[in-house]
Chains A and B, each alone.
Chain A
Amino acid sequence: MFSKPEKLSVYIDRTITEMNNIGVGSLAIVVIIAIFQGAVTTLQIAYQLISPLISKPVIGSIVSDSSMLELAPTITCLVLAGKVGSHIASEIGTMRVSEQVDALEVMGINSSGYLALPKIVGGLVMIPLLVVISIFLSNLGGIIAGEASGILTSEEYLQGARESFLPYNLFFALVKAFTYAFIITSVSAFQGYTTNGGALEVGASSTKAVVYSAVAILFSDYLLAQLML
């Protein structure tokens, strides 16, 4: 699929553009999801755990660990599979059905490498960054919800989060993020590149890209948990 880039500088430019599209373009949705995810998790954990026998920082500890181990990487990437994945598949699919991919080939450019590689590299760089932001904001959401509802103070939340923090958990979250980033970008690029037909097929490729990416993310989620925890 890939060969030596025709001109490295062009590929670097395209990778930066893709990093902007994937990273900056998805920031708003990631921020919203992460804050509400942390807030809701805090309320639900509190609902299940509030008892004179359990100290309040435990809530912060559970929300913080859940965010890092599962919620931030997996939920964020499932959303990105929808947003980024469908965009990649429909963009490349439209180029395929409107002969733009053929035009690249006739010019002597390796079209699969030219179209897919910058998106994959851009995803591998930006999606883990988005996951790190999501972890941070998820905890922020937890703190805000705890304070707003009077369940626990920010000091209690942070005390719990600090006490249970393991650097390995962050490493695990990043491994997940890299894996999911590769799945989202490569599956979607493949679906787009192999589109045949017209507008209907572009839509079908886009849907397939989201569904296959989501299933692959959930499958690899289980596999990584089994292997690394």
Chain B
Amino acid sequence: MIELRDVRKSFEGVEVLQGITTKFETGKVNLVIGSSGHGKSVMMKCMVGLLNPTSGNVFYDDRDFTNLEYNKLREVRKEIGMLFQGTALFDSLTVEENVEFTLKMFTNMTKAERRDRVNFCLEQVDMIGINSKFPAEISGGMKKRVGIARAIALDIKYLFCDEPNSGLDPVTSRLIDELLKQITEEFNITTIINTHDMKTVFDIGDDVIFIHKGVNEWSGKVNDIKDSGNEMLTNFIKASFFD
């Protein structure tokens, strides 16, 4: 479980996150929704340690991530996988080397063991047979899948996805959604997804948090969204479907 307690983040005097408090449960697909520029990505970056919150704390199963020493922080980070909006695959490495990367860095696996693990991860995302291709040689949807395979190469506990469907066609988007849901359940991990895509929310979401102007405006079960009674959330959903 990941817990945020009154997390605030300011840039040059502008408070982008205004005291976010919430919990993300293990084994569930937790969705963070909200308009662009309202703090979703900043919140995710604070959670994975790419940004330091101005104040407040982020707990990973009771470990205060915001106040850990550098070495302990690195240990927690090994339990984190992240799928970036632009996938952030390493251009100079092949698909196999990308997925193998963390295994090489953090385990004492033999080459054969690493190859087995890489193939297992690629099999999970239905990407067998492209091991020797470079990221520039595969499509956007394939990159996302390889990004997921790389994220789960180590036995992670937490999976973060920043706009996993951006730039993808509707069919590929649904495939990626299904994949994320399946991986979350199969590996019993805490998955947190930033998205605007309400179809994703209703298809695979368990819990939802709606961020508006840096504030946790509404949070609850996905089934309760339609009856939330929150005007801003209702407007956001209407606008999403209208789009």
Q: Given A102-B84, A103-B84, A106-B49 in contact, is the A6-B90 Cβ separation under 8 Å?
A: no
The one of B73, B85, B106 in contact with A7, judged by C-beta atoms closer than 8 angstroms, is: B106
What's the nearest-Cβ distance from chain A to residue B207, in Å?
22
Once the chains are docked, how many angstroms separate the CA of A108 from the CA of B78?
A: 6
Contact A106 B106 (CB under 8 A): no
- How many residues on the B side are at the interface (Cβ–Cβ under 8 A)? 25
Stretch at the interface among B53-61, B97-105, B115-123, B216-224: B97-105
Give the distance in Å from the alpha carbon of A111 to the alpha carbon of B174 in the complex: 33
CA–CA, A151 to B109, complex, Å? 65
A94 close to chain B: CB less than 8 A:
yes
Closest B residue, CB atoms, query A102: B50
Q: Indicate if A3 sits at the interface (CB-CB under 8 A).
A: yes
Contact B77 A108 (CB under 8 A): yes
Q: Are A107 and B78 in contact (CB under 8 A)?
A: yes
Q: Does A105 contact B (CB under 8 A)?
A: yes
A3–B89 CA distance with the chains assembled, in angstroms: 24
B77 contacts A106, C-beta separation under 8 Å: yes
A10 within 8 A of B: yes
Q: Is the CB of B86 within 8 A of A106?
A: no
Q: Is the CB of B48 closer than 8 A to any CB of chain A?
A: yes
- In angstroms, Cα B103 to Cα A6, docked, is 12
Could you say which residues of chain B place their CB within 8 Å of the CB of A95?
Answer: 90-91
Q: Are A109 and B50 in contact (CB under 8 A)?
A: no
How many residues of A are counted as interface, with CB atoms below 8 angstroms from the partner's CB atoms? 16
List chain A residues, Cβ under 8 A from B49: 105-106
Contact of B105 among A94, A98, A107 (CB under 8 A): A107
Cβ < 8 Å to A, chain B residues 154-169: 160
Question: Is B15's CB within 8 Å of the partner chain A?
Answer: no
Q: Contacts of A44 on B, CB cut-off 8 Å?
A: none
Q: Are B104 and A106 interface neighbours, CB within 8 A?
A: no
A118 to chain B, nearest CB (A): 12
Among B77, B88, B104, the residue within 8 A (CB) of A99 is B88
- Asked if B74 CB lies within 8 Å of chain A CBs, one says yes
Q: Which residue of chain A has its CB nearest to the CB of B106?
A: A6
Q: Is B152 an interface residue (CB 8 A)?
A: no
Asked if A55 CB lies within 8 Å of chain B CBs, one says no
The answer to whether A107 and B77 touch across the interface, beta carbons within 8 angstroms, is yes
A188 to B34, CA, bound (A): 39
A196 within 8 A of B: no
Binding site for A on B (CB under 8 A): 48-50, 70, 73-78, 80, 82, 84-86, 88-91, 101-102, 104-106, 160
The 6 residue pairs across chains A and B that have the minimum distance between CB atoms: A108-B77, A99-B88, A103-B88, A108-B74, A106-B82, A99-B84
A-side residues, CB < 8 A to B, are 3, 6-7, 10, 94-95, 98-100, 102-103, 105-109
